[in-house]
């Protein structure tokens, strides 16, 4: 049995938000193993679906977004009301034939008290700036050789036909940034025939004796493309102009027309930065300044808000949409596991004690976002109990 939170006053809603933290397992039960925390997860379920007019697909593809609202700006904004949270988590679905629907959702907790909802939104300014995404020495690594590119975790990174990066998160699903397919007002050109590219070797495996990973001449790769069946974008991104609410909702899920038959990386709720191994995150993407190359990087998280991670991982346009992941100990299965905890979005100028600093930003997968994305993938909230 589930309980609706309709009509919950602001203070009680705030208390419910804290339930996701209260009672979670300590991530350091084994001091030498950073452990995935256990969260109490809310339930996000569709309530009604409306048919919308077909979009015009006239927006220009944006390979990056920017905003000047930094951590203090985010931390100073009030929590949304329950109705606002429902509005932001409602979503649009675009189908391959160009038809479009809008789905309104409800947010629930289980009546036995094992789950709670947690959420926070931010209002971002529209100040533009000159873009810079490399910090000092370029610390990115281009990944060469099919022994690496075609194996986990690098094999989970895919390229969108609109120019961004995505990550395989299920047998037929790709997680990416919303701005890669929607500019906040309408869908970008090419979204109706959106494709996802998988790197593969140009030549058939002529012989296993050759060690391509250490060859002086990297083996040439090509993309094999699969059409997208439908896309989901949260209304928090679509509402008005994208930056009215901001990067907090810059995520989208793509469903492929057929299974990709590769190992994928599961999504997970983003732990606090201090609980991440070494305080560090990782992601791989198809940066535009290195065409045809998959580029890997890792760096420390510099700051965080409830919805965003601020870091200075070197990145260029094209890398946006990459899945940000960490590797932590899974206590229940007694094994190490990588999970996607965020989506690389863009960059921001941040005023740090009167001195402007440039940060790259990743959208965190919060408990509510996890519940939403997991439902998009599974279609059953009972399969989304563990984050």
| Residue of higher predicted confidence among 94 and 148 | 94
DSSP 155-169: GGEEEETTS-EEEE-
Of the candidate ranges 3-12, 82-91, 139-148, 195-204, the one whose mean pLDDT is the lowest: 3-12
| Per-residue pLDDT at 129 exceeds 50 | no
Residue 208 domain flag: no
Residue 276 domain flag: yes
- Which residues are CB-contacts of 38 (< 8 A; sequence separation ≥ 6)? 24, 25
On whether the CB atoms of residues 323 and 339 are closer than 8 A, the answer is no
Asked about 179 being catalytic, the answer comes back as yes
| Per-residue pLDDT at 57 exceeds 70 | yes
- Report if pTM > 0.85: no
Given 74, 119, 173, 179, which residue is catalytic?
179
- Rounded distance, CA 288 to CA 108, Å? 42
- Rounded distance, CA 265 to CA 317, Å? 23
Asked about 244 being catalytic, the answer comes back as yes
Stretch 33-61: mean pLDDT, rounded? 91
| Residue of higher predicted confidence among 313 and 73 | 313
| Residue of higher predicted confidence among 30 and 120 | 30
**pLDDT confidence band for 228 (50 / 70 / 90):** very high
Mean of the per-residue pLDDT values for the chain? 79
Residue 138 domain flag: no
In this predicted model, what pLDDT tens digit does every residue of 230-240 receive, in sequence order?
A: 999 999 998 75
Of the candidate ranges 111-115, 276-280, 292-296, 324-328, the one whose mean pLDDT is the lowest: 111-115
**pLDDT confidence band for 270 (50 / 70 / 90):** very high
Tell me which residue has tokens 């997680």.
Answer: 175
Stretch 126-142: mean pLDDT, rounded? 45
Residue 373 domain flag: yes
367-378 vs 82-89: helix crossing angle, rounded to 10: 40
Residue 327 domain flag: yes
Alpha-carbon torsion angle 363, 252, 108, 50, nearest 10:
140
Given 4, 99, 213, 244, which residue is catalytic?
244
- Rounded distance, CA 108 to CA 195, Å? 34
Q: How many helices (H) and strands (E) does the chain have?
A: 7, 18
Residue 20 domain flag: no
| Residue of higher predicted confidence among 55 and 19 | 55
| Per-residue pLDDT at 130 exceeds 90 | no
Asked about 320 being catalytic, the answer comes back as yes
| Per-residue pLDDT at 16 exceeds 80 | no
Count of domains in the chain? 1
Stretch 377-386: mean pLDDT, rounded? 90
**pLDDT confidence band for 144 (50 / 70 / 90):** low
Helix spans in 194-330 (H): 235-238, 242-245
Phi first, then psi: what are they for 137, rounded to 5°?
-65, 130
Q: Residue 220, class by beta-carbon neighbours within 10 Å (0-12 exposed, 13-18 middle, 19+ buried)? A: exposed
Stretch 9-30: mean pLDDT, rounded? 44
| Residue of higher predicted confidence among 85 and 165 | 165
| pLDDT (0 to 100) of residue 352 | 62
The size of the chain, in residues, is: 387
3-state SS, one letter per residue, for 250-266: CCEEEEECCCCCCCCCC
- Rounded distance, CA 15 to CA 358, Å? 34
Residue 90 domain flag: yes
Given 66, 122, 155, 320, which residue is catalytic?
320
Partnered with residue 167 across adjacent β-strands are 157, 175
CATH number, domain containing residue 315: 2.40.10.120
- Rounded distance, CA 232 to CA 335, Å? 32
| pLDDT (0 to 100) of residue 58 | 87
Residue 206 domain flag: no
Domain that residue 288 falls in: 35-108+143-201+220-378
| pLDDT (0 to 100) of residue 315 | 81
């Amino acid at each position: 049995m589930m309980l609706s939170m309709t009509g919950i006053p602001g203070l009680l809603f705030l208390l419910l938000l804290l339930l996701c933290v209260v009672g979670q397992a300590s991530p350091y039960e084994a001091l030498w193993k950073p452990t995935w925390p256990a969260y109490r997860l809310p339930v996000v379920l569709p309530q009604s679906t409306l048919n919308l007019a077909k979009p015009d697909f006239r927006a220009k593809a944006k390979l990056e977004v920017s905003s000047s609202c930094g951590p203090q700006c985010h931390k100073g904004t009030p929590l949304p009301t329950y109705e606002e949270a429902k509005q932001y988590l409602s979503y649009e679905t675009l189908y391959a034939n160009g038809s479009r629907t809008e789905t309104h959702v409800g947010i629930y907790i289980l009546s036995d008290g094992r789950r709670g909802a947690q959420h926070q939104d931010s209002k971002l300014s529209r100040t533009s700036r000159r873009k810079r995404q490399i910090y000092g020495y370029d610390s990115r690594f281009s990944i060469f050789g099919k022994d690496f590119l075609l194996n986990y975790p690098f094999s989970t990174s895919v390229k969108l036909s609109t120019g961004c990066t995505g990550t395989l998160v299920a047998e037929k699903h790709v997680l990416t940034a919303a701005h890669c397919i929607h500019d906040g007002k309408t869908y970008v050109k090419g979204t109706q025939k959106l494709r996802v590219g998988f790197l593969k070797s140009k030549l058939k495996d002529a012989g296993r004796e050759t060690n391509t990973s250490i060859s002086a001449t990297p083996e040439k790769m090509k993309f094999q493309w699969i059409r997208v069946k439908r896309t989901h974008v949260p209304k928090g991104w679509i509402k008005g102009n994208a930056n009215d609410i901001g990067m907090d909702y810059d995520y989208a899920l793509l469903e492929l027309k057929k299974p990709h038959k590769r190992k994928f990386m599961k999504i997970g709720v983003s732990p606090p930065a201090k609980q991440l191994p070494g305080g560090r995150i990782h992601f791989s993407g198809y940066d535009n300044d290195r065409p045809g190359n998959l580029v890997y990087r890792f760096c420390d998280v510099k700051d965080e808000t409830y919805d965003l991670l601020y870091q200075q991982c070197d990145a260029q346009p094209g890398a946006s949409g990459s899945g940000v992941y960490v590797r932590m100990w899974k206590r229940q299965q007694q094994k190490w596991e990588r999970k996607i905890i965020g989506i690389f979005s863009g960059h921001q100028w941040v005023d740090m004690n009167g001195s402007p600093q440039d940060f790259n930003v990743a959208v965190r997968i919060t408990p509510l976002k996890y519940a939403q994305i997991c439902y998009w993938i599974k279609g059953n909230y009972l399969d989304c109990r563990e984050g």
